[in-house]
Chains A and B, each alone.
Chain A
Amino acid sequence: MLVDSLISGFGLFMTPLALGLTLLGVLFGLLVGALPGLGPLMGIILLLPVAIGLPPVAAMGFLIAIFVGGSCGGSISAILLRIPGTPLAAATLFDGYPMAQKGRASDAIGIAISSSALGGLFGGLVLIFAAPALARVASNFAPPEYTALAITGLIAIAVISDGSLIKGLISGGFGLLLATIGTDEFSTGYRFTFGSHHMLNGFHIVAVVVGLFAISEMAYQCMSGDLLAKPKITVARPGFRSVLTTLRHWKNLLRSSVIGGFFGALPGAGGVISSFTAYAVAKAMAKPEEKYGEGAEGGVVATESSNNATVGGTLVPSLALGIPGDASSAVLIGALLILGYFPGPTLFEQQPEIVGGIFLVYLASNVFLLIAGILATPLFVYVLRVPKVFLIPTVLLLCSIGTYALQASVFDLFVMLGFGLVGILLRAASYPLAPVVIGIILGPLLENNLRRSLLISQDGYWIFLDRPVSALLLGINVLLIAGAIWFAIRQGRKTGDVSEVTGQS
C-alpha cells in the first residue's frame, strides 16, 4: 500500500515543474524565514493564489517547500544577528549566536541547515510510515493531556534559564500575563484591551518577538560602537562536512527529531514548543563540558532538527485526518481542497498517487534544503562583513516591513517598538528573553485547555487523573519539578550560597 502510493506518486513528482517549484519554494522559504517578521505561514499565504493554478503535486510541493525552508530560515538571522527570523528559531540563538561570535558562523549555519534537513527527513519517515497510526494516537490527546503538556513546556523554562532561575520564571510569568490580553475564548469578554480594537486579539506574537530580540539587539549594537568598522571575517564555506558534524550528535539529532515529530503530530502544539523542549532535554542530558549556552553545537542540532521534524509531524494529522496541525498546515489543507482533494482517510484510499506525490515532494524539499542551504551559506555569512552603519538600518527596515506585513497594521509596528524597549530593559537587568516567548505561546494552550477540561469534566479536577495519559504526564511533571528543585538545592550547597538560584550577587 505504502510502496504503491510512492510508486504511483513518483510520476506526478518527477516532473520539471514539480521539482523546479520545490527548489524555488525552499529558496523562497529560506528568504521569508530569515527576514524578521515574515515566516513560513506568511510565505505560504502569499503564494497560495499562484499554487492553486498548478497541477496538484507541483502546487503542494511549492507550498510544502516554503514551509520546510521557512522553518529553517529563521535560524540564519538568529545565528548571525541574534535575531530569530521566526519565533521557531528563538531557541536557536542560545548556542548559534555564541558560535558565530567565536568565528564559527559558517559552521553554525551549516549545522543548522543539516540538522533541519535531517530532522525534516526524519519527520518525513514518520509521515510515510506512521501517519495513520500516529494520527490515531494524537487524536486521542484531549484537553487534559494538552494541559499537562503545557505544564511540561513551562518547566522547560527552568532548564533554559541561564544564570538565574528566578529571573527566568519572572520572564516566563511576564509572557503568561501578556498571553491573557485579548478576547477570552470562553466568556467572549475582553481582557486588558483598554478600549482599543487593536488589542482585541492580543499582541501579535511575531511583533513581540521581533521587538524583544531584533530591536533590543540593534540598540545594543549601536551602543557597542564601531559603527563604521568593516569586520574582517573570513567566510569559510562549511561544505557538506556540516552533515558529518551534525551526525556526530546523532543521539541528540534522533531524540530531538522524535520530539519534533511528536509535537508536530499534536494539533495546536507546534514548532516553537518542540524546539524549546528539544533544547531543554538536550541541555539537561548534556555533559557540563559541552557548555550549552556558550556555543554548543548540540544546542543548534536540537532546536533545528526538532522544529523541522515538526513540519513532517504537522502533516500527519493534516493528511491522515484532515485536521490541521498548525496555521501553516491549515492553509495547506485549504490549498489541497481547492485543488480538488480531500485530506483524510479517503485520500489515502482513493488517491494514493497524490499522497505518494506529497510524501515525495516533502522529502525532496529537505534534500534541496540541504544542498541549496549549504551552497548559499557563504552568501548569508557575508552579512557579518557589512559595517554596522549599513547593517543596523537595513535590519530595522526589514523588521518594520515584515512586522507591518503581518496584518497591514501600523499598531503592530508600535508593538514591535514597545517590546524593543522592554527587551532593552530586560537585557539590561539580565532577565532572559526566551521565557517570555515560551509564556506567550504556552499561556493560551494552558489556560484554554485547563478551562476546557473542567467544562468537559463532570467530576472537577479528577478528569486529569481519570485519563491515563494525562495522569502519566502530570506524574512526569511532578518528577521534573522535584528534580529541578533538588538540582537547584544541590547546586546551592556546592557553591555555598543561594546566588545560583536567585541570581543575586
Chain B
Amino acid sequence: MLKKLLVAGALAAMTLGASPVHAEFPERTVENIFPWSAGTALSVSQVIAKAMGEELGVSVPVISTPGAAGTKAFITAMNRPADGYTIFDGYVAPLVLQPVLGNADWTYKDFKPLHSAVSNAFSIGGRKGETRWTDFEGLMAYGKANPGKLRYSSGSRNNLPHMVIAKVLQSYGVVAQNIPYKTDGDARKDLKAGVLDFSFVNVGAYLQDKEGFEILLVLSELPGAKASYDGAPSITDMNIDLGLSGLAPMGWTWWLVHKDTPDDVADVLRAAMKRAMNRDDVKEQISRVGFVPLDWDHTQYDEIVGPVAGQLGAMSNALAWEEEELKKLR
C-alpha cells in the first residue's frame, strides 16, 4: 500500500513538475489593469476584454485601478511579473502625457505593444441658448476682452483635453480658468447649469444629448471626428495650427504588456486581440458608445505613437503658460 502511494506521489510530482514546461499560455486569467474609475470607458474595455478572453479561452477581467492621472495603474502593472498575465490598458494620458509632464519616468518605448484598441475624439462645447457668442471665434473674442473671466473644464486637470484646450487658448492669447471635476459628467452638468462657460465634450456625451450642447470646435483634423459631431467646425476649418495631427489631440488606448514579456507569449496575446478587434460585434458595440475601434497592430506602434509623443512633448508648455497667465491676473 505504502509503495503504491509512493509511486502515485512520485508520478504526481513528475506531472506537476513537468507541467510548466509543456504548458500552453494562457493557463489562467489574464488581467487588464484599467487606469480610470468605473464608467463608459471601462465598459468599452470590458467589451474588448470579453472578446479577447473568448479568443484566448480564459477570462480577461478589467480591473479599475484609478489614481494619479492613470499612473497608479501603470506602476501597479509594472510591479507584476512580465509573464503576459497582466495587460496595461495603455491610455495616452499615463502612457505619453504624464511622462511628457514629468510625472512618470517611462516612455512609450518601455512597453511591448499588443494591438491598438479605441480612440475617442473630443470637442469644445458650449450650452444651447448662449447669448454672449454664437461661434468659436466669438467665444475667443469674448475671452480676449475679459481675461481670466471664462471658466471651463476638461474633466480632471492636466489630462489630454486640458492640454489641447490650453494650447488652443494659448494660440488665441485667451486666458481662462480651468475648473477640475471628478467626473466629466459633473462638468457637463455645470456647463448646462450656467456655472461653466465651456467644456470639453466627447462624442459619447454629445450623442446622448445633442440638443443640450452647442459644439463650437472639434479638436481633431480627422474627417470621421467632424462627422461624429454632425459636421461642427473643426480645427481644420478654423485654420488653427496646433501642431497636432492623427491621434495626438484625441483620447486613445493601446493595450500593452511588460517589455520583458517573452515574445511567444506576447504573440499569443497579439493574435487574440487582433481577432477580437476584427470581430464585427466588437466593432459595433464600441461604435455605439461613440468610441472608434482602431485596427493598427503591434508593428505600427512606433509609427503611430512616436509622433504623438513628439507632438505632445512640443506643446507641453501650454499648461504652464495657462497657470502663469492666471497668476499674473490675480
Residues of A in contact with B (beta carbons under 8 Å apart): 41, 45, 48-49, 52, 139-140, 142-143, 182-183, 185-186, 188, 190, 197, 200-202, 267-268, 317, 321-324, 327-328, 330-331, 333-335, 337-340, 342-346, 407-409, 444, 448, 452, 455-456, 458
Chain B residue nearest in CB terms to A451: B180
CB-based contact B208/A407 at 8 Å:
no
Cβ 8 A contact of A342, one of B62, B67, B208: B208
Residues of B250-291 at the interface with A, using a CB-CB cut-off of 8 Å, are 285, 288-290
CB-based contact A344/B212 at 8 Å:
yes
State A202–B68 Cα separation when bound (angstroms): 10
- What are the residues of chain A within 8 A of B192 when measuring CB–CB? 139
CB-based contact A338/B288 at 8 Å:
yes
CB-based contact B209/A330 at 8 Å:
no
CB-based contact A267/B189 at 8 Å:
yes
The total of Cβ contacts below 8 Å across the A-B interface reads 156
Chain A residue nearest in CB terms to B103: A188
CB-based contact A183/B209 at 8 Å:
no
Cβ 8 A contact of A337, one of B31, B69, B290: B290
Residues of B9-61 at the interface with A, using a CB-CB cut-off of 8 Å, are 31, 37-44, 46-47, 49-50
- What are the residues of chain B within 8 A of A142 when measuring CB–CB? 190, 193, 195
CB-based contact B289/A337 at 8 Å:
yes
Q: For the complex of A and B, list the 6 residue pairs with the smallest distance between their C-beta atoms, beginning with the closest.
A: A334-B43, A201-B67, A322-B208, A200-B67, A200-B68, A197-B75
CB-based contact B209/A41 at 8 Å:
no
Kindly state whether residue B144 has any CB partner on chain A within 8 Å. Answer: no
CB-based contact A322/B46 at 8 Å:
no
- The 10 sampled A-B contact pairs (Cβ below 8 Å) are A139-B189, A188-B158, A200-B72, A201-B72, A324-B183, A330-B183, A337-B40, A338-B288, A455-B177, A458-B149
State A139–B180 Cα separation when bound (angstroms): 17
Query: What distance in Å separates the Cβ of A135 from its nearest Cβ neighbour in chain B?
Result: 10
Kindly state whether residue B170 has any CB partner on chain A within 8 Å. Answer: no
CB-based contact B185/A267 at 8 Å:
yes
- A452 and B68 contact, Cβ closer than 8 Å, known pairs A45-B38, A337-B40: no
CB-based contact B39/A331 at 8 Å:
yes
CB-based contact B186/A268 at 8 Å:
yes
Cβ 8 A contact of B288, one of A328, A337, A456: A337
Chain B residue nearest in CB terms to A411: B76
CB-based contact A409/B38 at 8 Å:
no
Query: What distance in Å separates the Cβ of A451 from its nearest Cβ neighbour in chain B?
Result: 9
CB-based contact A407/B180 at 8 Å:
no
- What are the residues of chain A within 8 A of B205 when measuring CB–CB? 322
- What are the residues of chain A within 8 A of B196 when measuring CB–CB? 456
CB-based contact A456/B289 at 8 Å:
no
Residues of B159-178 at the interface with A, using a CB-CB cut-off of 8 Å, are 177
Residue tally, chain B, CB below 8 Å to A = 59
Kindly state whether residue B125 has any CB partner on chain A within 8 Å. Answer: no
- What are the residues of chain A within 8 A of B103 when measuring CB–CB? 188
Kindly state whether residue B298 has any CB partner on chain A within 8 Å. Answer: no
Kindly state whether residue B136 has any CB partner on chain A within 8 Å. Answer: no
CB-based contact B212/A345 at 8 Å:
yes
Chain A residue nearest in CB terms to B289: A337
CB-based contact B185/A322 at 8 Å:
yes
Cβ 8 A contact of B39, one of A185, A188, A334, A444: A334
Query: What distance in Å separates the Cβ of B220 from its nearest Cβ neighbour in chain A?
Result: 20
CB-based contact B67/A182 at 8 Å:
yes
Kindly state whether residue B210 has any CB partner on chain A within 8 Å. Answer: yes
Cβ 8 A contact of A321, one of B62, B63, B65, B189: B189
- A334 and B44 contact, Cβ closer than 8 Å, known pairs A41-B38, A456-B179: yes
- A407 and B195 contact, Cβ closer than 8 Å, known pairs A323-B185, A324-B183, A327-B38: no
Kindly state whether residue B71 has any CB partner on chain A within 8 Å. Answer: yes
CB-based contact A52/B157 at 8 Å:
no
State A236–B20 Cα separation when bound (angstroms): 53
State A186–B158 Cα separation when bound (angstroms): 9
Kindly state whether residue B181 has any CB partner on chain A within 8 Å. Answer: yes
Query: What distance in Å separates the Cβ of B311 from its nearest Cβ neighbour in chain A?
Result: 22
CB-based contact B188/A338 at 8 Å:
no
- A190 and B209 contact, Cβ closer than 8 Å, known pairs A140-B193, A323-B189, A334-B39: no
- A455 and B204 contact, Cβ closer than 8 Å, known pairs A200-B67, A335-B43: no
State A344–B207 Cα separation when bound (angstroms): 9
Please name 5 further chain A to chain B contacts, defined as beta carbons within 8 Å, in addition to the given A139-B192, A183-B68, sorted by A numbering.
A45-B38, A201-B68, A338-B289, A342-B209, A344-B208
- What are the residues of chain A within 8 A of B65 when measuring CB–CB? 201, 407, 409
Kindly state whether residue B66 has any CB partner on chain A within 8 Å. Answer: yes
Query: What distance in Å separates the Cβ of A2 from its nearest Cβ neighbour in chain B?
Result: 20
- What are the residues of chain A within 8 A of B62 when measuring CB–CB? 45
CB-based contact B69/A188 at 8 Å:
yes
Chain B residue nearest in CB terms to A317: B189
Query: What distance in Å separates the Cβ of B31 from its nearest Cβ neighbour in chain A?
Result: 6
State A340–B39 Cα separation when bound (angstroms): 16
Chain A residue nearest in CB terms to B159: A188
State A327–B210 Cα separation when bound (angstroms): 24
State A338–B44 Cα separation when bound (angstroms): 8
- What are the residues of chain B within 8 A of A185 when measuring CB–CB? 156-157, 180, 182
State A407–B42 Cα separation when bound (angstroms): 14
- What are the residues of chain A within 8 A of B66 when measuring CB–CB? 201
Kindly state whether residue B64 has any CB partner on chain A within 8 Å. Answer: yes
State A143–B189 Cα separation when bound (angstroms): 11
State A186–B181 Cα separation when bound (angstroms): 9
CB-based contact B185/A197 at 8 Å:
no
Cβ 8 A contact of A338, one of B43, B68, B190, B209: B43
Query: What distance in Å separates the Cβ of A358 from its nearest Cβ neighbour in chain B?
Result: 15
- What are the residues of chain A within 8 A of B303 when measuring CB–CB? none
Residues of B203-224 at the interface with A, using a CB-CB cut-off of 8 Å, are 204-205, 207-212
Cβ 8 A contact of B40, one of A268, A328, A334, A452: A334
State A144–B188 Cα separation when bound (angstroms): 16
Cβ 8 A contact of A143, one of B44, B46, B190, B290: B190
- A338 and B285 contact, Cβ closer than 8 Å, known pairs A139-B192, A268-B182: yes
Query: What distance in Å separates the Cβ of B89 from its nearest Cβ neighbour in chain A?
Result: 14
